[in-house]
Amino acid sequence: EKVPAYTGPLAVLVNRYSASASEIFAGAIQDYHRGLIIGQNTFGKGTVQNLIPLDSWSRKPVDGQLTVTIGKFYRITGQSTQHRGVIPNVVLPSPINPKQVGEADLWRSLPYDRIDGVPFQLSTSYSAPVPSIAQLDAEEAARAKRDPNYAWLVGD
């Protein structure tokens, strides 16, 4: 029998610079209800690339490489992280402008799509109580009212 390495509460902090493997990890934690994703929507990179050295086709040494998209990544639910990223359970303000950082803003990036999900079982391997999203949102709003730096960050 497999035993979890950690069974306590789990939170994954993400922002617009969280991309690729970190999105796969955060998406899996969210899909299996193993923990909460906190922060800002992630980068939205749901594609897989292969790097091919350009000197593979030349008799002379050539600097550089060709980047070829060879696949897309899909979550177990069938959703892709492409363009949309992982949407956090609890959104925190960020100084990062989401319109300036993300796969959706890159020239000729592949569009979002989805496939059929596959059956899976939600995680039941942890015993620590996880607060509700509503409770966390209420606590965050109360903290925002008390902290002038937080109010400055969100633009109030």
Active site residue 56: no
Report the chain's C-alpha Rg in angstroms.
Answer: 20
Active site residue 60: no
Question: What backbone torsions phi and psi does residue 53 show, to the nearest 5 degrees?
Answer: -65, 135
Please state, in angstroms and rounded to a whole number, the distance separating the CA atoms of residues 110 and 141.
Answer: 37
Six token digits for residue 58: 């030349």
Residue from 18, 45, 58, 123 carrying the catalytic annotation? 45
Active site residue 20: yes
Residue from 31, 72, 94, 123 carrying the catalytic annotation? 31
Please state, in angstroms and rounded to a whole number, the distance separating the CA atoms of residues 152 and 140.
Answer: 15
Residue from 20, 94, 109, 123 carrying the catalytic annotation? 20
Please identify every residue annotated as catalytic.
20, 31, 45
